Amino acid sequence: MDVELVIAQASLALRERGERLTGPRRAVLAVLAASPGHLSAEQVFDGVSAVAPGVHRASVYRSLEALTAAGLVSHVHVGHQGARYHLADAGRNHLHASCQRCGVVIDLAPDALDAVAADLTANHGFRLDPSHVALSGICRECLKAM
Amino acid sequence: MDVELVIAQASLALRERGERLTGPRRAVLAVLAASPGHLSAEQVFDGVSAVAPGVHRASVYRSLEALTAAGLVSHVHVGHQGARYHLADAGRNHLHASCQRCGVVIDLAPDALDAVAADLTANHGFRLDPSHVALSGICRECLKAM
DNA sequence: CTGCTTGCAAAGTGTTTGCAGGCCC
DNA sequence: GGGCCTGCAAACACTTTGCAAGCAG
């Protein structure tokens, strides 16, 4: 993911909301853009600290919150672990599954839960937000090791 | 759910594991058996306190853990909220979806994710544990209120 | 300059653990 | 009466918040 592009988009999106693109927020975006995966808040904090020492942990949380509200970042809840963060997809967000043994998060196709979503709407009037929580199970590697 | 029956089963299941059916554990089972829904640990603690005052919050957590290990209780992780507990189904556990706005948990058919589970196995070698996390979305009532 | 943001520290949830005494079986 | 379990208190992980100073635009 191109950091420059992400930051340019962020500047616009934030300004539209009367907010600002600051050092800590820039660093958070850079860390997320540089990472292939899904980072915990602590991992984002570590990454930010490497790039911009002195940024406080609380600012990382507040930055993630602001960037989420602006539609630039998404988070996924993973079982009993904390949330994981990643840049929001341009269009539709992909889905996630996580291993309850080793914690790894794998990406799934955006349409993997479409049938379930339709079923929930029809039978329960419930609107599914499929990308907001990770499905839980055991990954390939852990299955081998058991 | 019949409390007497549950407690009798629990006594056996625990003894098989070299563990004991104690006052606090009995109270936890009674509270879960008396509740139709899915309780947070705090709600279980409140219920236990009403039946058996003096039981410590930590004992409720430890009881829930022990009863889970013995296969008598199940828990579901609900988004950023804490876990919810309920008596384990006799056979296959039902699934859950929770409202990210009001927190209500609704039960789903045990086979609601079968197609997804098959897909995950085939494409990622991932074994889904469908009852362990609640799907997330907005419930009917909250949709009306938006 | 205006006021959104930050750093700091402290408080808040939800949950776990070490320890000495207590109770189940 | 042996050893699993409990109550207590403190620690824990993760996250949020009040406040005064700081920086973006």
Going from N- to C-terminal start, the domains of chain A cover: 3-87, 95-145
Is B3-87 assigned to CATH 3.40.640.10?
no
- CA B32/CA B2 separation, integer angstroms: 11
Are the folds of A3-87 and A95-145 the same? no
| pLDDT value at B9 more than 70 | yes
- pLDDT tens for each residue of A89-120: 877 789 999 999 888 999 999 999 999 999 99
pLDDT of residue A82: 86
| pLDDT value at A76 more than 70 | yes
Query: Average pLDDT of chain B?
Result: 93
| Window from A15-24, A35-44, B48-57 with minimum mean pLDDT | A35-44
- pLDDT tens for each residue of B34-47: 998 899 999 999 99
Phi and psi, residue A88, nearest 5°: -70, 140
Interface touch A126/B133, C-beta < 8 Å = no
Of all residues in chain A, what percent carry a pLDDT higher than 90?
Answer: 84
Token pair belonging to B128: 């889904």
| B100 neighbourhood in chain A, CB within 8 Å | 129, 132
Is residue A84 within 8 A of residue A44, CB to CB? The reply is no
pLDDT of residue A92: 76
Count how many pairs of residues, chain A against chain B, have C-beta atoms within 8 Å: 102
| CA proximity to B42, closest of B61, B68, B67, B21 | B61
Q: How far is the CA of B49 from the C1' of D5 (A)?
A: 18
Q: Using the CB atom, is residue A46 less than 7 Å from strand D? A: no
Query: Can you tell me which residue has its alpha carbon closest to the C1' of nucleotide D13?
Result: A82
| pLDDT value at A22 more than 90 | yes
pTM above 0.95, yes or no: no
| pLDDT value at A36 more than 90 | no
Is residue B136 within 8 A of residue B100, CB to CB? The reply is yes
Q: Using the CB atom, is residue A11 less than 7 Å from strand D? A: yes
Q: Exposed, middle or buried, A38 (CB in 10 Å: 0-12/13-18/19+)?
A: buried
- pLDDT tens for each residue of B81-100: 889 999 997 667 889 999 98
Question: Under CATH, which architecture does the B95-145 domain have?
Answer: 2-Layer Sandwich (3.30)
- CA A129/CA A134 separation, integer angstroms: 11
pLDDT of residue A103: 87
| CA proximity to B103, closest of B81, B133, B76 | B81
| B135 neighbourhood in chain A, CB within 8 Å | 113, 116, 120, 128, 130, 133
| pLDDT value at B101 more than 90 | no
What residues of chain B have any CB closer than 8 angstroms to a CB in chain A?
77, 79-80, 83, 97, 99-100, 106, 108, 112-113, 115-116, 119-120, 124-130, 132-140, 143
Q: How far is the CA of A23 from the C1' of D23 (A)?
A: 10
Q: How far is the CA of B38 from the C1' of D21 (A)?
A: 47
Across B79-88, B103-112, B113-122, the highest mean pLDDT is recorded for B113-122
More confident residue, B103 or A135: A135
